[in-house]
Structure 1
Amino acid sequence: MKTKFSGILTLFLAFVVQLSLAQEKTISGTVSDENGLPLPGVNVIVKGTSSGTQTDFDGNYSISANTGDVLAYSFVGYTTKEMTVGASNNISFSMEPDVQAIDEVVITALGIKKEEKAIGYASQQLKSEAIADVPTTNVVNSLSGKVAGVNITQSSGDIGSSSRITIRGVSTIYGNSQPLIVVDGIVMDNNTYGNANSGTDIPNGLADINPQDIESVNVLKGGAATALYGMRGTNGVVVITTKAGTKKQALGVEINSTISFSNPYIFPDYQNSYGQGHSTSYFEYVDGFGYDLGANGGDGGTDESWGPALDAGFDFIQYTSFIDNPNNPQAKPWVSNPDSVIKDFYETGITTDNTVSLSGGTDKATYRASFGLTDAKGVIYNTDLKKYNISGSVNYDLSDKWSVGFSARYIKSTSDNRNAVGYGDPDNQIGQLVWGARQVDWGALRDWKNLPLVDTGNGIMTPINWNLRYNNNPFWALDNNLHPWERNRWLGTANIGYQITDNLSINAQTGIDYFNNFSETKRMFGTVDNRNGYYSYVERNRYEVNTQVLLSYNNKFGGNDQFGLSLSGGGNAMVNKYRGYSAVAQQLVIDGLFNISNSSDAPLLGQSHSQSKINSLFGTGELSYNDYLYLNFTARNDWASVLPSGKTSIFYPSVSLSALVHDMLDLNSEALTFLKLRGSWAETGSTGPLGAYDVNPTYALSAFPLNGSSPTAIYPNTLWNQDIKPQRETAMEFGVDARFLSNRLRLDFTYYDKENNDVIMPLEVSAASGYTNVWKNAATITNKGIELVVGADIIKNQGNGLNLGVDINFGKNDNEVSNIEGSGVLNLTNGSLWNVDSQARNGEPIGVLYGPSFERGPNGQILYENGLPVAGDYKILGNSQPDWTGGLGINASFKGFNFRTLFDVKMGGEVYSQTNTWGNLAGVLEETLVGRETGVVGVGVMSDGNGGYVQNNVVVDAQSYYSTAYSQNIAESSVYDASFVKWRELSLSYSLPSKMLQNTGVQSISLGVNVRNLAILYKEAPHIDPETAFGTDVGQQGLEYAQTPSTRTIGVNLNVKF
């Protein structure tokens, strides 16, 4: 019996064991993201146990579990997913992104990471896809229309042209009004060191960064957000974090390749009915002093288009006559070439961007390296840009206490020929389109090497052009009058950290930004305005080193850890050195030998150097209560060497409060997910436009001789001032952040008010003093505004994987300057543009356009005399700052497809257009057709001779009318509303399903198309893009100066990950 019982017991136990083994099984599967791409590093645990694993590089995993167990899947940035083990041994699915996680961590000042819910000021962060999906050669342009309160202006459509960024208006009259740029903790110089008015437009510094290397861009807007950066953060801060490796990730390789094609898409509307000449003297011009048949056959006496009708059966000897037969030119049909500008003058720009990166990590280290190459050809013939971008970073945990990190980045940007810009530059060939002849066939002038040579003066021979008195053959000039440019830049950082206790740590970091910049201007013999050649060489070298130590403490205390305390303090030492050299040969001995020693006269030589320092101490703290109330404070003191001795100290305090009302009042529900009220106050300041030695008596070297001696030492024109004080800004900000329907609807509203006092500027003094200006604290600037950011997930991960989201941003800023001493007026332009100045005037926004207007009658009608408009007084014609800016972004995904598009809006403000001025004066624009045959009767009034006014009824010839209405005596005629609505971006990509790539070694493949500047949907300014400006300085905004037209870019992109 006992034996039988033992046998039964043995069989029972074996059955139980077998049943247990049958219930426990191996679950495997693949976890992917919302686009179907594998997600490596996803944590997978059996809920309620310590059993767990992670997905591998291909998103695959396997884990032992019992039927009925719950598997929890979690990954940073995605909603945690729970799946119950059933009959199947495979569980595969896509995780859902948690893009609006309430506990999202953002990078704040000095690289300090904070929970988004804890900060008491507005900031806006863009992820890498918002920057890289529609790539540009300048990262600044990728911010257009995406960040509330941020205004972006691109100088022109030239490849690599400079761009300007301002945050919450203009806060200084002179000097840099753009935000501080910080890349991985390194302060980066974003200046252009070029001139879009005359010379060449050089890319701003941020254009050096490869968009494919960027992980995120965080825009810090208000004083409380930027006070920790001291005097350099007063205009806002753009914090860029680049990509890094991930711990416990195998080596991964990513290849990203894009080819794009660019063409101008905003052209003047030209008239194609009348050609070169004057309306009253064309035939005399042809036979008499225009084309001298016995000499060179190419010296056009006029470069305007008021001549005979085109396509009307006329035959004339013209420039193409000499191309066909230089020795015996024959009359040729006088015909139009309506498409020649688009077809023959401009080219299709081609840009290739290729980036290869390697990244990965172990349990103690992360690493990433990348190499990028951009090779671009501009829409202007023989203009180009190349960029080589090499970067690497390593972070390593030496132990549980010690960690180190290193990063290095080298960028070489080079061009064999930068396009000359500004109508005043003889090498800017756009001027021939703005003021020129409408019968020109530009294609006939392209092959300049095989064109007849003509004498341009003193026996100097150059290829024929449609007009050689005022213009060279544009293609000869673009091939020979070159503007080479090169910039080499090194960015590097090294840091070391030590975890003293669980709550206390210290970190030390040093970073450097160094570049050298070389540019040349080369002009051959025969160049208009430089018949005997010209050569200039400019070299700039600059480096800045920042060394920082930061001690940080974090702890919780009180019952149930109700209170949280974070404290950080430290110091920074900054050294900035600059050295520049220049040499100019105004005439050459040997044609084509571009060397200063080839100068026929004494060359003009220049050299400058400067050094400045800022030493700083700072501290910041955060006190929280129950994780729903956060009080933050900062304090920083700078000692700046540019200020007078004994007055170098500047102190910047700030305080902010964040209250999570939904937690405080227990309002959590599906309808109201999150509600935060925030407010902040800060006092910041800066040294404005002051250079290293502006407050001290210094000498400068001059190349011009004095009493036969050269060089000579001279005092600067601006008198130093030992009583100068720093500019001070007081800023207040209030906001609300509300999220509804489980974060599917998000609203963020901000009101801000900031006032800058003691604004530093050079004020005029009597020339009898020996100076022209003196540095003074002499103005106040205020900026008040609102910002609104709205996001909505209209469709979110339905059963078919469809997602649809909308993002809207809006910013309105009111700017005003007051308390300018003396006349209350400052000219901001370096010489007026056709009698138009950008000014700062008491009671007005900075950058009002001031110039000559129409004289008007009592009811505002234009006043005429003898049929021509009368020039009136100088007055304010407009304001270069927009009334408001905004953007609308739409994004959608479906299975492997991803779609993004963006609309960019600016409303209000004005622009003065030189293209419109010259185009009307020269008779090349479409509107000048009115009255060609019948004369023009201007709309307005004229004097009745008895003190009254009657409707103007005097007929004048068209050329006289337009030459008067658009002369430099009446600039008002070319001032227009600068509003626009642009369809800015569009991208569509498809990612292959991961199952198609199994066993190939390829993790993902994505193919896409992207378009930038699809269309301008609304604008008031004719013939131009109202967005352009002729530079990045304050005084260059709202002034269009015959720049290269804006371009539309269409690209194809391939991304492969291994």
Structure 2
Amino acid sequence: MKKMYLLHSAYLLRLLCLLLGSCLTLHAQNVRVSGTVTSASDNSALVGISVLVKGTNNGTTSNATGEYAINAPSGGTLVFSFVGFEKQEIQVNNQSVINVVLKEDNQQLNEVVVTALGVKREKKQLGYTVSEIAGAKMAATNELSPISALQGRIPGVQIDQGAGGLMGNTKILIRGNSTLGVNNQPIFVVDGVILDNDVYDGSSGPRDFGNSLKNLNMEDFESVSVLKGSAAAALYGTRAINGVILITTKKGAQRKGLGVSVSQTFNMQKPYRGPDFQNEYGGGTVGAFFTDTRDPNYKPDESWTTKVFPTNAQGQPYIDRQMNRELENWGPRFNNQQVVDYDGKMTTYQAYPNNYLDAFQTGKGSLTNVAIDGGNERSTFRFSYNRVDSRGINFKNNLGKNAFNLRATQNLNKFLVADVTADYTTTEGTNPPSLSLNNYIWTFPRNYDTQYWMQRQNYIGYKGGLRNVSDVNEPNLVPGADHWFNIFENNYSQREQMVRGRLALTATVTDWLKLQIEGNFNNLYTKSEIKELGQGVNFTGGRYALGHSTKQTNFMKWLAIFNKSITKDLDFNGYVGGESQQYSLSFNNAETVGGLSYPGNFFLANSVQSQKSEGGIKTRRSYKSLYASADFAWRDQLFLQTTWRGDWSSALTYSNGSGNNFYNYPSASLSWILRSRSILLCLTGSVMES
């Protein structure tokens, strides 16, 4: 029995060594693979491409420059995929660099997409790239911004989330920057109505209330098309130099009775990670190495010493209050010492590793959408109501939105169709976070207990207002008390009303000719308020500001659309049109000066000194344009597209009416589809003459 036991033990030992050696061998076979993913059509970098180790959950995505990196078995297989492109599998074969070129999915070439000016084309006819996504997929993200909803869904598009809270701007770039200007973002066109995609530049203060895109309701989107490249967007002129995102909204359908759709979604957001901080040392000075004011109660022989406490008159060590200087974590190592805190009370000297995340809350949001539609053989309609209630992860950052949309179509006779859209949205946003310096990096040390110091009694001075470090009777000398005072005692709000209307008439003249005439407007009315409580004794001081702005856009367009077969091998389609647009931005702002006569009462007449006011027309411009397109298809495989647009801009006109205010943009593109394989040759050009 003893011999049998020894034999079994030796066998198990050899088996354990064999398994351990196998594990080490398998681990050694993993290699770090990196490379770049590009498009076969134009060699551009593809963003958001899924890279997955086949048969596992190990994956990553390509970044803004198309680059990726992943750990994979040397004998494994990488799978590259994205919507609209052919999936590609590549064996690793112990390679450390694998560059991949993805082709567009040929099965999608016969799909019809919406292109410039809302004209529908088959994908195979285009010599440029158009990516399309269903509106339902965007609505399912429950995002407030349509830009955020595009994240990871369109190749070649880079999206960066802003830091402005719920309503802050989200930046979108199509194939990188195209100019040296501040705004390199594409324009948005909703059913022919052009919306400005403004960026936050800090000129209106440190708080970002976003642009008018947040007023859109993604539940109303039927489809979204992204036009990439100059040839794709040439018919929109200089406004589309950075690309175009076309949005087509839903309309009613012929049915018996009424169709009712109700959706309700909820979401929660919780910050899970902040900057990486050290948690070994707390607040304290670096001694004579630093030029800022040093606490006078360090011992005379410690002028060049770090990691020590200053001491008070009773000989008690206390935490350096860092008055009149920025963060210095040169205090002693944390060891649960008993010391005097900033407010004169004894406390345990320790790190608070989560003090940064404690400065945020759990965000919550709900979105309710109700839609009713119906129609018969002559008319259709769709009406929707959308309600958004959201609370951000930043304290007091809230957003409420009510959106109403109506779209109706009517066959006036057998030749003429009317399409009418009316849209009204109200949005109210409050207290987006200040985009100034981060106090947790510049002021608060690692021993700062956020949950304690953010309480009102711990940041308000004993005489009211903000605690005064120069007052010898002030018991609370905590650094950065103004941070919580500004968050909880001040209020910043912006209320927007967006009114959008559109009327389009389409006449079918012959089986190859249609005429369209369209008029639309888009008005945005904004009211902003600033209420700042005084920080002086008994809350003296303070500020109240009130501002209004009106942005108005009026647009008229006519279009003749041709679609005719010249011979059995040669087809022609195109259009000729023109448009006129007027844009104006007016404003008026007023604010108190010298503080408020009655603290905590916010109205303009409460100004200590004469209030300051300004207003007028900030911007006014107009465009008049002509454009044309001629597209030829030979045997349904060779496609030539040419466009031309000419603009007359008031920005280039002198006050006496003189000036050369005309410039134009020709473009051409060619695509060739051979034996179901896509060989795309894209020749594009852009010319400006003024």
Q: TM-score, normalised by structure 2?
A: 0.74
TM-superposed deviation, 1:435: 2.9
Q: Secondary structure at the match of 2:409?
A: strand
Q: In 2 relative to 1, CA 495–679 (structure 1 residues): closer, same or farther, beyond 3 Å? A: same
TM-superposed deviation, 1:213: 1.8
TM-superposed deviation, 1:250: 4.5
Matched, 1:226 2:233: yes
On the 8 A contact 2:623/2:649 being kept in 1, the answer is yes
- Tell me the distance in 2 between the aligned counterparts of 1:461 and 1:200: 35
Residue 608 of structure 2 is aligned with which of 593, 600, 610? Answer: 600
- Tell me the distance in 1 between the aligned counterparts of 2:251 and 2:592: 48
Q: Which stretch of the first structure deviates more once superposed, 649-658 or 475-484?
A: 475-484
Q: In 2 relative to 1, CA 504–460 (structure 1 residues): closer, same or farther, beyond 3 Å? A: farther
- Tell me the distance in 1 between the aligned counterparts of 2:469 and 2:543: 16
RMSD: 3.2
The higher relative CO (CA closer than 8 Å, separation ≥ 6) is in 1
Number of the residue aligned with 1:646 = 659
TM-superposed deviation, 1:303: 5.0
Residue 453 of structure 1 is aligned with which of 458, 461, 481? Answer: 461
Equivalent positions of 1:894-973 (< 5 A) are none
Q: In 2 relative to 1, CA 239–307 (structure 1 residues): closer, same or farther, beyond 3 Å? A: same
Number of the residue aligned with 1:386 = 400
Q: In 2 relative to 1, CA 138–99 (structure 1 residues): closer, same or farther, beyond 3 Å? A: farther
- Tell me the distance in 2 between the aligned counterparts of 1:251 and 1:442: 55
Matched, 1:583 2:590: yes
Q: Percent identity?
A: 26
Q: In 2 relative to 1, CA 574–464 (structure 1 residues): closer, same or farther, beyond 3 Å? A: farther
Residue 450 of structure 2 is aligned with which of 428, 442, 445? Answer: 442
- Tell me the distance in 1 between the aligned counterparts of 2:536 and 2:411: 63
Equivalent positions of 1:180-329 (< 5 A) are 180-192=187-199, 195=202, 198-248=205-255, 250-280=257-287, 284=297, 300=323, 304-309=327-332, 311-319=334-342, 322=343, 329=344
- Tell me the distance in 1 between the aligned counterparts of 2:631 and 2:621: 33
Residue 149 of structure 2 is aligned with which of 142, 165, 184? Answer: 142
On the 8 A contact 1:498/1:507 being kept in 2, the answer is yes
Number of the residue aligned with 2:371 = 357
Number of the residue aligned with 2:561 = 552
On the 8 A contact 1:305/1:438 being kept in 2, the answer is no
Task: In structure 2, give the amino acid aligned to 1:661.
Answer: L
Q: In 2 relative to 1, CA 194–145 (structure 1 residues): closer, same or farther, beyond 3 Å? A: same
Q: Secondary structure at the match of 1:505?
A: strand
TM-superposed deviation, 1:387: 1.6
Q: In 2 relative to 1, CA 461–192 (structure 1 residues): closer, same or farther, beyond 3 Å? A: farther
**Once the two structures are superposed, what CA deviation does each residue of 1:588-639 show, in whole Å capped at 9, x if it has no partner?**
1332223333333344432231321100111112222222222221111110
On the 8 A contact 1:533/1:586 being kept in 2, the answer is no
Matched, 1:109 2:116: yes
Structure 2 residue runs without a partner (length 5+)? 1-104, 288-293, 299-308
On the 8 A contact 1:452/1:463 being kept in 2, the answer is no
Matched, 1:331 2:380: no
Residue 524 of structure 1 is aligned with which of 514, 530, 533? Answer: 533
Q: In 2 relative to 1, CA 593–289 (structure 1 residues): closer, same or farther, beyond 3 Å? A: farther
Matched, 1:407 2:421: yes
Equivalent positions of 1:758-777 (< 5 A) are none
On the 8 A contact 1:568/1:619 being kept in 2, the answer is yes
Number of the residue aligned with 1:675 = 678
TM-superposed deviation, 1:518: 2.3
TM-superposed deviation, 1:394: 0.6
Matched, 1:533 2:542: yes
TM-superposed deviation, 1:650: 0.9
Q: Secondary structure at the match of 1:453?
A: coil
Residue 631 of structure 2 is aligned with which of 610, 618, 622? Answer: 622
Number of the residue aligned with 1:119 = 126
Residue 467 of structure 1 is aligned with which of 457, 478, 484? Answer: 478
TM-superposed deviation, 1:260: 0.9
**Once the two structures are superposed, what CA deviation does each residue of 1:360-398 show, in whole Å capped at 9, x if it has no partner?**
321122221111111111111111111212111011112
TM-superposed deviation, 1:584: 3.5
**Once the two structures are superposed, what CA deviation does each residue of 1:1011-1042 show, in whole Å capped at 9, x if it has no partner?**
xxxxxxxxxxxxxxxxxxxxxxxxxxxxxxxx
Q: In 2 relative to 1, CA 504–383 (structure 1 residues): closer, same or farther, beyond 3 Å? A: same
- Tell me the distance in 2 between the aligned counterparts of 1:389 and 1:463: 50
Task: In structure 1, give the amino acid aligned to 2:422.
Answer: A
Matched, 1:368 2:382: yes
**Once the two structures are superposed, what CA deviation does each residue of 1:796-845 show, in whole Å capped at 9, x if it has no partner?**
xxxxxxxxxxxxxxxxxxxxxxxxxxxxxxxxxxxxxxxxxxxxxxxxxx
Matched, 1:658 2:674: no
TM-superposed deviation, 1:531: 7.5
Equivalent positions of 1:727-738 (< 5 A) are none
Q: Secondary structure at the match of 1:151?
A: strand
- Tell me the distance in 2 between the aligned counterparts of 1:461 and 1:106: 72
- Tell me the distance in 1 between the aligned counterparts of 2:410 and 2:483: 56
TM-superposed deviation, 1:197: 9.3
**Once the two structures are superposed, what CA deviation does each residue of 1:185-221 show, in whole Å capped at 9, x if it has no partner?**
1101221466399521122322221222222111111
- Tell me the distance in 1 between the aligned counterparts of 2:482 and 2:193: 46
- Tell me the distance in 2 between the aligned counterparts of 1:416 and 1:628: 55
- Tell me the distance in 2 between the aligned counterparts of 1:130 and 1:148: 16
On the 8 A contact 2:266/2:364 being kept in 1, the answer is yes
Q: In 2 relative to 1, CA 197–167 (structure 1 residues): closer, same or farther, beyond 3 Å? A: same
Task: In structure 2, give the amino acid aligned to 1:499.
Answer: T
Q: In 2 relative to 1, CA 642–527 (structure 1 residues): closer, same or farther, beyond 3 Å? A: farther
Task: In structure 1, give the amino acid aligned to 2:408.
Answer: V
On the 8 A contact 2:580/2:624 being kept in 1, the answer is yes
Q: In 2 relative to 1, CA 452–577 (structure 1 residues): closer, same or farther, beyond 3 Å? A: closer
Structure with the higher strand share, 1 or 2? 1
Q: In 2 relative to 1, CA 269–572 (structure 1 residues): closer, same or farther, beyond 3 Å? A: same
- Tell me the distance in 2 between the aligned counterparts of 1:433 and 1:464: 25
Equivalent positions of 1:406-425 (< 5 A) are 406-423=420-437
Matched, 1:493 2:479: no
Structure 1 residue runs without a partner (length 5+)? 1-97, 323-328, 424-429, 663-672, 686-724, 727-1058
TM-superposed deviation, 1:572: 0.1
Q: Secondary structure at the match of 1:225?
A: helix
Q: Secondary structure at the match of 1:284?
A: coil
Q: Secondary structure at the match of 1:405?
A: strand
Task: In structure 2, give the amino acid aligned to 1:651.
Answer: N
Residue 396 of structure 1 is aligned with which of 397, 410, 413? Answer: 410
Q: In 2 relative to 1, CA 310–358 (structure 1 residues): closer, same or farther, beyond 3 Å? A: farther
Residue 160 of structure 2 is aligned with which of 142, 153, 158? Answer: 153
Q: In 2 relative to 1, CA 515–380 (structure 1 residues): closer, same or farther, beyond 3 Å? A: same
**Once the two structures are superposed, what CA deviation does each residue of 1:729-772 show, in whole Å capped at 9, x if it has no partner?**
xxxxxxxxxxxxxxxxxxxxxxxxxxxxxxxxxxxxxxxxxxxx
Q: In 2 relative to 1, CA 287–660 (structure 1 residues): closer, same or farther, beyond 3 Å? A: closer
Task: In structure 2, give the amino acid aligned to 1:563.
Answer: L
Q: Secondary structure at the match of 1:597?
A: helix
Q: In 2 relative to 1, CA 314–449 (structure 1 residues): closer, same or farther, beyond 3 Å? A: closer
- Tell me the distance in 2 between the aligned counterparts of 1:302 and 1:183: 51
Task: In structure 1, give the amino acid aligned to 2:667.
Answer: S
Q: Secondary structure at the match of 2:350?
A: coil
- Tell me the distance in 2 between the aligned counterparts of 1:446 and 1:236: 45
Q: TM-score, normalised by structure 1?
A: 0.49
TM-superposed deviation, 1:552: 1.5
Q: In 2 relative to 1, CA 506–613 (structure 1 residues): closer, same or farther, beyond 3 Å? A: same
TM-superposed deviation, 1:515: 0.3
Equivalent positions of 1:865-880 (< 5 A) are none
